[in-house]
Structure 1
């Protein structure tokens, strides 16, 4: 393959989610490397297309009715009109364009069931397959690890009064896979041990969570309702200013852990479970990892941090972010990938 001077980024969805945020960050990194970028996305929903146009990228909007229509239209468009390398940002565009030449397949989720078959099909003809963590190599062998990255999130100096409660924060989808019920159980244990000492700031909504799963989470939260402040959707940078510790208590195999990386950039102490790639993100050697699903262990960890009996070196966490998950690190990895393709 000749040197890469143009990349077309195909989105997984028209609406903006975590993977689509990464598409826009990849586009920015490519532009910084003087590579021309085209973003192709559904016209409806138009979140990705509008964000790409606002950022100044050439944008192609395809008029589609549903996901299957998007895949069909994308395959036809790619065969006739694409310029340069096609960067398939997710399983949907990768499957839609299987067998086409000069494609990068970028998978953000562990493929299972039918998705495992589609993942294998989508890689036919690909010049590279990318995953966001070494942990994902277990389900996508032979791929190349390209960790996600996040912008720097400066944090205001936090100086709560001596009698202020210790505020634990959760940011993300309010579902049992994210371990919200485990965190609720841990908060109940903490309040029993030291009434009034702790509060839980809960940011997020149960988007794409089944009704039965929402009920499971709500039942757990009802037991600590007096301790919980629900803030809904909020900018991470604003949320981090209000908490003393971020907890990421997932119980499913996280393919990355963007919220943890964001907290590290803001120098907010962060504790994660040992689910999926989370220990890989914060560093398993930091001591900020607890067993997934273990509410007593999580409560003990929070209590030790709140009491000062377990030190948290946020400068070390921030340095880890700067080296591995910052925009600068992202540009370096994109350059290395393009150099490999153009060799």
Structure 2
């Protein structure tokens, strides 16, 4: 049985840590002995791996600085087999050590970008989540994330011109474009009062600063009764109650988890042109608008709404094509194949 150690970037659970758990599960299913290393605080990640029966090394670190120092010492003295560095922190901590995979989940910005060449020293390969990132960090290899299929009921919501529901999933924030979407819907309702557009918002503003939260609240308050807040719910809860989902990011996304989930659910999807989002949907996808432009988004929402009502077969064909793209590139089956290929190559 080959040994694989995965070192976490953070002690809490974000998108990168969700991928760590996915990779660990796949590697175990392929017959590898998986050990996960993480800090004592925050403890969410190590508790999750322990709950799933993985061997877990809990380093007594309570700060990032201590975690880096302790991880470097532990790896040099105790690690056996391949090390999968799940983020910049463990990659930097173990820089120069042999037999490592460096896996970057975000595009390093500011001072962090100067750590990347150090973190990659003697790495077998550096993985990034999209071609968009790979084009900006030379010598890296694209390793797409994957998401579970969002289960949807056979009976789907029927779209009505007097009640077109637009969905948003994620952290309501400026970088995710929640305010841009709210202003687009407000513009539609003012310009076309005979129609009605409402926003169904699923998510909580975790890790969003107070100033940004206040700006988002101001934008949402203008929608009045055309706003439905679901809080933190499963994606299927949102998607079964909307006609269109919008990913209105204003920051350059390195992947697009919400877009991939929507593709799996066969829900009509509009995205901004931020970062890797158009790449995830595929070349030539028609429902892409200029990020941060509420008027451009409003026109696209109305156009998709018209298509839903007047020629749903054509839009359904587009949605079906997105589903099969998800299955080929972003499904658990596709993710397992990528992990298996990498481990055959390096483990």
TM-score (norm 1): 0.94
Partner of 1:73: 70
Partner of 1:90: 87
Q: Following superposition of structure 1 onto structure 2, how do residues 126-275 of structure 1 map, counting pairs within 5 Å? A: 126-156=123-153, 157-160=155-158, 162=160, 165-195=163-193, 197-275=196-274
Pairwise CA RMSD: 1.7
Residues 236-284 of structure 1, C-alpha deviations (whole Å, 9 max, x = no match): 1222222211100111110000010011111112111000000001124
**1:164 CA displacement:** 6.4
Partner of 2:111: 114
Unaligned runs of 5+ in 2: none
Q: Distance in 2 between matches of 1:325 and 1:290?
A: 23
Alpha carbons 2:148, 2:331 under 8 Å: kept: yes
- The residue matched to 2:228 in structure 1 has which SS? strand
**1:25 CA displacement:** 0.6
Alpha carbons 1:201, 1:230 under 8 Å: kept: yes
Partner of 1:315: 320
Alpha carbons 2:157, 2:240 under 8 Å: kept: no
Runs of 4+ in structure 1 over 6 Å off: none
Q: Distance in 2 between matches of 1:216 and 1:284?
A: 34
Partner of 1:9: 6
**1:19 CA displacement:** 0.6
Matched, 1:46 2:43: yes
Partner of 1:340: 345
TM-score (norm 2): 0.93
Alpha carbons 1:131, 1:143 under 8 Å: kept: yes
Unaligned runs of 5+ in 1: none
- The residue matched to 1:176 in structure 2 has which SS? coil
1:292–1:120 distance in 2 versus 1, CA, 3 Å: same
**1:163 CA displacement:** 7.1
Q: Distance in 2 between matches of 1:215 and 1:224?
A: 15
Q: Distance in 2 between matches of 1:238 and 1:72?
A: 43
**1:175 CA displacement:** 1.3
- The residue matched to 2:12 in structure 1 has which SS? coil
**1:321 CA displacement:** 0.2
**1:161 CA displacement:** 7.2
